[in-house]
Structure 1
Amino acid sequence: MSVIARGLMSIARTCLRTTMQVPSTTLAKQCVNNTFTAGFMEIKRMGSSLFRAHKIGYFQKPRKYRQPLGGKPFAKGVVLKTLIKKPKKPNSANRKCVLVRLSTGKEMVAYVPGVGHNLQEHNIVLCRVGRVKDCNGVKIKCVRGKYDLAHVIKPE
């Protein structure tokens, strides 16, 4: 018998002794013969579940890893809206972003890297995984030079 179960049995015996006013030898016989009251049965059941929890270990939910594109490196998407996001505290330049409906079915905000872009509603873009640290909720970036998003034009 484990230490936890032994401790619970002794607690139960003392509780029953005080409520029933029975000598300890009679109570011990009752415990051995499994003829106990409902209260003692509850305590015994609790002890067994504690012992089981000690042996098996506590229940842990399986962790879900949230990947922005479902584990895929790229996803095609349609631009729904062009946005300008403001970065977190120490930075101040506006970030050019687009709201994209991906081929996976998700709607996400994607960052458009480089200087300037020609994106409008209904344009098709290729998105890759890569978060923008100073913008909240921006976990993907658009790929320049694919589909409707042109390369960065070199200034003269």
Structure 2
Amino acid sequence: MLLGPWPYGIVFNNTSQQMREMASLYQMHRTGPHVKIHPPRQPLDGKPFAKGVVLKTLIKKPKKPNSANRKCVLVRLSTGKEMVAYVPGIGHNLQEHNIVLCRVGRVQDVPGVKLKCVRGVYDLNHVIKNK
């Protein structure tokens, strides 16, 4: 932001209230483009699976164009975190204090759900096949 009668190469920095000089074209060419470093999105800290205890069963609503009730559970993971995990498939037998295995995988239309439960491991049964 240019302020005052200063020459064009000088910029007034609002945060530190000091004058600083703009980078020349050669300096910008030397350093390359400025790339923002995003923090890694790893809900399980890079691990593929985590064991957890069900605290509560939830029903979440999806985002705008979709309309259904997504079956989810609030899980306390072995890492100590409490997260919401999606239960895939039709029907489940989960109650409070059941043990589930969670894997990384978000549900695209439910905000805040970054884990999925693995069917057929621990207390979560396989999907029952209807005849």
Shorter-chain TM-score above 0.5 = yes
Query: Which of the five TM-score ranges fits, normalised by the shorter chain?
Result: 0.7 to 0.9
Corresponding residue for residue 71 of structure 2: 96
Corresponding residue for residue 125 of structure 1: 100
Deviation at 1:66, TM superposition (A): 2.7
Matched-pair identity in %: 77
Separation in 2, partners of 1:74, 1:118 = 21
Aligned residues: 111
Corresponding residue for residue 68 of structure 1: 43
Q: Which residue type is aligned with residue 127 of structure 2? A: V
| Structure with the higher fraction of residues in strand conformation | 2
Q: Which runs of 5+ in 2 are unaligned?
A: 1-6, 8-17
Corresponding residue for residue 127 of structure 2: 152
Q: Which residue type is aligned with residue 80 of structure 2? A: G
Corresponding residue for residue 62 of structure 2: 87
Q: What secondary structure is seen at the aligned counterpart in 2 of 1:80?
A: strand
Corresponding residue for residue 106 of structure 1: 81
Separation in 2, partners of 1:93, 1:66 = 27
Q: What secondary structure is seen at the aligned counterpart in 2 of 1:83?
A: strand
Corresponding residue for residue 140 of structure 1: 115
Deviation at 1:74, TM superposition (A): 0.2
Q: What secondary structure is seen at the aligned counterpart in 2 of 1:110?
A: strand
Stretches (4+) displaced over 4 A? 60-63
Q: Which runs of 5+ in 1 are unaligned?
A: 1-7, 9-41
Deviation at 1:152, TM superposition (A): 0.2
Residue by residue over 1:5-58, the C-alpha shift from the partner in whole angstroms, topping out at 9 and shown as x without a partner, is xxx9xxxxxxxxxxxxxxxxxxxxxxxxxxxxxxxxx98xx67xx8xxx69x7x
Q: Which residue type is aligned with residue 86 of structure 2? A: Y
Deviation at 1:83, TM superposition (A): 0.1
1:115 to 90, 98, 112: 90
